[in-house]
Structure 1
């Protein structure tokens, strides 16, 4: 049970309390007290509930408007509204599907890959029902909080295939990928499934969210092909101002994402909060430093991208590592993700418009693996029971590899189904004219 709680980033405060009891009363004699502390009697906490409601709203801020503006600024002006529409509609779609069947399949039942149908249509949940995972908040609050994670994960993929995909294809793909990639990954890591049993640590979504989405984006970028003119003419972002605003909203919203994953208003939430500040700042600084050394100038886009890289990297470790460890993780993430969006991108020969894989894939893989290192007590972290660094790093690597393989296969099949049913790519004429007017009949800007 200890490993399961740590992997979810839920109940970490209870584990800290257990450690305190052990330290005060001594070893084996305190074990029964520790076990009793873990088995908490469900009791509503107004403070925990208020924090989780706030965290849920912060994650919504990450998606709409944060992610939408971040991606929207990176595309050309003729495709601005198409990106906004895709993110907005995906959020609407996935949150509804989550309530209908996503929650029960992710957090119900005892399967290794999927949960059960006991809470289909949220059956059995009432206003006074407390969450079985977080015993101090209403279950509706937990459902709402987790719905935002599902929504942002699917929305992240949009940045890879922007500017040339059919809107109908986005919808078909989103439904399929959410059902067969996001839900099982969430269950495997946070719902007591395969990876939780293996002891994988993922506090707030390194594998479930970032690597999962990044692989789907990479597959999509390959399957849709490169944009017209890619590699032959300049295709610059139309508004780095909006991208900076979007990145800032992402950073603010990420406090709900990471600190909210503590599941309570406690010390672990505070740890995740400070880590989300310093890891992000460190990554922004190291990105622009590497950029200045390599290109001679530090860019605003680099600072914003570095910040997102830091946020991604610290996500799986936010409540499990100390602040100094999180700074080191951020310092590594900046230059590595800069390579991901430049050198690696050229090696892969892919048109990933908003560098979903270069930032979320590379940063997510780095963060997932380094979580197994910096959670060590000697490095200021919070060790899981029976911790061995070499073993834990291997467990983390296995979780990364499984995520890549699972998402890759599901993504390939989902794109194929979308291609066979509604088609994937817009016509050349529509792409040249822009998706705003051809897909949605409106434009972002008028003169």
Structure 2
């Protein structure tokens, strides 16, 4: 994602209605990805945790939006301080921004850039939630989101995309969030689950998805919204780079889905719907950092490699014993690492920038930069996220009680159930005894028979 760049007054751009409209549409598409993620995750859990899983994504829309307006945008994209963080008083509360004031070097208003970036900030902590399914207190999760975006996401976004951020200045390529979003969220998920531990019955009880149609719906909406996520990250339509990213997003996703399904067929003997959905998401994750620097053929390679490696990676939790409930580590962390590193191999030097990868005569220089970006974000997010989870776990407690976990967090945390099988409604009233409706005609007929 290109941060603001300085331009001479004579060359200053003018507001483009076309680019502004395009970016507002892209912002709406990225916003859709958070409810889509809720459906994707919600279908993958057991019935007793469905609503909790949905809410763990939806609450991010509320918390992160407010924090972004108050100070998040300023920290992420304000004037650089030490290449680590930003700050601009005019961005606090979004109160000092002119209605037609342009984002530096671009033809869209600052407000449009701010709301587009807001949707990224909302989605990223929601991604973490899939690793924590079935066992986290909702209050603790909400507090974790607020703390995490403040001390992890906002600074990392500045490193990667902010003018003056140290990874941006180094030349690390991350078109739309391989490091800042997916590695960041995946490493955070790993840090938290190492603190809070496994679900009751992990590796013993069946924990299959309760609604694969819901998973497929979520995956399809994610795929749709991802075009705004990726193509919009060039912040305009003037030079064709966004169009290349759009094409590469489709191509890599298709390749990853096919690779995952092929692996499943060879390894397990079947093509599963869960595999198709997971493979598609793995491709979307991997092409996010790379799509602006590779060709469509390169996108096929990126997607296919990601689909295969992520399919292998989701099984690591059973080997190493960490309970990544919905494979956030296996898909988002691993997929983000793959996509970010493959820039160092497949970058053509003719799309997003002139930086070329190893296979296009660029040597190992870009790969080295990508590796630094990958492991810096991974290490920072892993350690700080684990510390945040530890503090919350030792104070207010991150996990629900074991009995509550077994009975289901939906009833305990939300006083509701996802599905009504009794006809009495899914809310709190459904737990009360409700007299069965009387069929008066049938009752009268019964009396006649008895007589």
Please indicate, yes or no, whether the TM-score normalized by the shorter chain is above 0.5.
yes
- 1:206 and 1:368 in contact (8 A); partners too: yes
CA contact (8 A) 1:10 1:261 kept: no
Of 37, 45, 59, the residue aligned with 2:30 is: 59
> Residue 312 of structure 1 contacts residue 363 of structure 1 at CA under 8 Å; is this kept in 2?
yes
Compared with structure 1, are the counterparts of its residues 306 and 177 closer, same or farther at alpha carbon in structure 2 (3 Å cutoff)? Answer: same
Match of 2:269 in 1: 296
| 8 Å contact from structure 1 (residues 40, 135) kept in 2 | no
Change (3 A) 1:291 1:250: same
Question: Residue by residue, what CA displacement relative to the aligned partner does 1:3-46 show, whole Å, maximum 9, x if unpaired?
Answer: xxxxx3458xx9xxxxxxxxxxxxxxxxxxxx989984131001
Q: Distance in 2 between matches of 1:168 and 1:315?
A: 32
Match of 1:389, SS?
Answer: coil
Give the CA deviation at 1:404: 1.0
Q: What are structure 2's unaligned runs of at least 5 residues?
A: 422-451
Task: Measure the CA separation in 1 of the matches of 2:17 and 2:92.
Answer: 27
1:360 to 332, 347, 351: 332
**CA distance in 1: counterparts of 2:160 and 2:397, whole angstroms:** 33
Give the TM-score, by structure 2 length.
0.88
- Aligned-residue Cα RMSD (Å) equals 1.8
Counterpart for residue 418 of structure 1 = 392
1:89 aligns with 2:59: yes
Q: Is the 8 A contact 2:258 2:279 kept in 1?
A: yes
What number of residue pairs does the alignment pair up? Answer: 413
Q: Work out whether residues 241 and 352 of structure 2, in 8 Å CA contact, stay in contact via their aligned partners in 1.
A: no
Determine which of 328, 340, 349 is the counterpart of 2:313.
340
| C-alpha contact 1:9 1:202 (8 A) present in aligned 2 | no
Moved more, 170-179 or 355-364: 170-179
Match of 2:43 among 64, 70, 73: 73
1:259 aligns with 2:270: no
**What do the CA deviations read for 1:95-144 (whole angstroms, capped 9, x no partner)?**
11111100011101122111014221113112121112x52111111110
Residue in 1 that maps onto 2:182: 210
> How far, CA to CA, are the matches of 1:362 and 1:411 in structure 2?
17
Structure exhibiting the larger radius of gyration computed from Cα positions: 2
Residues 36-59 of structure 1: per-residue CA shift (max 9 Å, x gap): 899841310011001100000000
- The answer for unaligned runs of 5 or more in structure 1 is 1-7, 15-34
After superposition, where does 1:294-333 map in structure 2 within 5 Å? 294-333=267-306
Equivalent residue, structure 2, for 1:98: 68
Residues 247, 173 of structure 1: CA spacing in aligned structure 2 closer, same or farther, 3 A cutoff?
same
Contact 1:9 1:319 in 2 (8 A): no
Further displaced range: 123-132 or 322-331:
123-132
The structure with the largest helix share of the pair is 1
Q: Deviations over 1:57-109 (max 9, x none)?
A: 00011111x00000000000110000111111112110111111000111011
Per-residue CA shift, 1:177-198, capped at 9, x if unaligned?
Answer: 1011101110001002110111
**C-alpha deviation, 1:318, in angstroms:** 1.7
Contact 1:376 1:382 in 2 (8 A): no
Q: Does 1:114 align with 2:114?
A: no
CA separation in 2, counterparts of 1:411 and 1:347?
23
